A and B are shown apart, each in its own frame.
Chain A
Amino acid sequence: MKRVLATATAAGLALTLAACGSSSTSSGPAPGSSAPEVRTLTVLAAASLTGTFNALKSRFETDNPGVTVTISYGGSSDLAQQIVNGSPADLFAAASDTTMRTVTDASLTTAAPTIFATNVLQIATVPGNPKKIVSFADLAKPDLKVVVCAPAVPCGAAAAKVEKATGVTLKPVSEEPDVKSVLSKVATGNADAALVYVTDVTAAKGTVQGVSFPESSQAVTNYPIAVLKNARQADLAARFQELVTGELGQKTLAAAGFGAKK
């Protein structure tokens, strides 16, 4: 009971502090600890980079003993908001120029961002493509249930760009806030087709089937990366960025379906 009370009091105290708006200084390593220093590199990366960055993380940790890489994956704009609101991170890899601009506009990067990969849209259909969708124009067929990303998110903006370039107007049954919910509608068979990035189709591993279309080149999405100004491990962050833009990183990205850096 006593312990419960103590915990509750501590939590209550924390709340009081939070309510008063006082910021506590982060405590460093405990004094007198003799263990060798373990350094942690914190990376914020767009969700579409999950597979490739996890592979690069293992490589980086092998090459740099004593270094742990923590990668937080999420929607690019969420991550950008977190950085603007003071999230302690070292490196940011975004899935669009716009989201990176949120961070650069706040002067929170050390240098101008580097484009390390590109991505294009692909049609995702139910495995086997029962509705025989072969072109972008096919998506406008009235009996098809098509799902796209909302215009506000990068994949939706790209879809709108392709629509404009081709003059084909889609009548989607849903405009979803992220790629995952778009893909799940097709993977569960509730929609016939969706517009997502080619890397999303690769990552979905057979739960959907990809159909490429030439007009996708009308909307190429850039993936910028930048070391953050408040980085505690700026040197490690720069090295990780080199890994991503280097030969191995580019090979890994290409295998996942990404286009080459500019």
Chain B
Amino acid sequence: MTSAGPLAPAREEERAAAVALPGWLWLPATLAFALIALPVVGLLLKADWPRIPALLLSSASVDALLLSLETAAVATALCIALGGPLAVVLARGRLRGLRFLRSVVLLPLVLPPVVGGLALLYLLGRTGLVGKGIDLAFGITIPFTTASVIIAQTFVALPFLVVSLEGAIRTAGERYEAIAATLGATPALAFRRVTVPLILPGLLSGAILAFARAMGEFGATITFAGSLQGVTQTLPLLVYQQREEDVDAAVTTSLLLVVVSIVVIAVARPRTVQGVA
């Protein structure tokens, strides 16, 4: 908010003049916020603060944090590289059965992540449809590798990017591209110079959602990738394991996950994405 610079006061005034909220909105809005925020407050209260530095600096925590950041970043990049084009096709493509394809894209949202992990095992596991061939041809087994963590995260995070980007593309409409075309732009040029800048905020907010989902991913990862420190044990997996013997450690690791996610979102979100659904 503060980063808007000299324009900020004027924009604040404009906003105040344009939008007067009906008072009753505040009650459900407050409840919604409380439902999200209060459990985290519960975590904060439960945390064993004096032990936190030692717990956070344990090799398991550090390894899990680095692995989570690395895998979630790669998964987000994959979501953009693969999901971006998919969103464009879904929003603009003229294809029979597009509506059916769109509902298939939503599947990872509906499937319990554990089931998604099993599905990935049956496809890419050592005895899976595709995994068997890869194992025989190259001697590579996908499960239990860091790559399998990234695949699991990409699987569950893709719909978040595709859905929000597709919405942004639809909202943007095709008017500008049509005008660009009358001015002689080829489809490729119009896409690069007109469409991409228009949908960039939507892409960023989709990427943030995808990153957040990848950071929190648990079920598909444990089922498809397993859990080994430094290789496949991401923060959520570490939390789940710590909870077995040391609840304080689990709480601390959860807080670490919360803080890292908030920082990443806060750093990425201002300016470009503000106000974009």
Q: Identify the A interface with B (CB < 8 A).
A: 12, 15-16, 19, 75, 77-78, 81, 98, 145, 147, 150, 152-153, 172-177, 181, 184-185, 188-191
Contacts and interface: CB of A to CB of B under 8 A. Distances in A.
Main secondary structure of the interface of A (DSSP, over half): mixed
Contacts of A174: 144, 225-228, 232
A77 B243 contact: yes
Interface in B140-195: 141, 143-144
6 contacts: A152-B245, A174-B226, A177-B222, A177-B237, A177-B241, A185-B143
A189 B127 contact: yes
Given A145-B141, A188-B121, A181 B243 contact: no
Contact of A19 (B34, B118, B143, B226): B34
B127 A172 contact: no
Nearest to A81: B247
A78 B240 CA distance: 10
A5 to B, nearest CB: 12
A153 B244 contact: yes
Nearest to A154: B244
Contacts of B240: 177
A152 B241 CA distance: 7
A188 B127 contact: yes
A173 B145 CA distance: 9
Contacts of B223: 181, 184
A130 to B, nearest CB: 12
Given A16-B31, A174-B225, A174-B227, 15 more contacts: A12-B27, A19-B38, A81-B247, A145-B141, A147-B226, A150-B227, A153-B241, A173-B228, A174-B144, A176-B227, A177-B241, A188-B122, A190-B125, A190-B143, A191-B144
B28 interface: yes
B241 A190 contact: no
Given A174-B227, A176-B227, A190 B244 contact: no
Interface in B34-87: 34-35, 38
B261 interface: no
Interface in B227-241: 227-229, 232-233, 237, 240-241
B244 A15 contact: no
Nearest to B34: A19
A16 B241 CA distance: 33
A77 B226 CA distance: 20
Contacts of A147: 226
Contacts of A78: 243
Contacts of A185: 143, 226
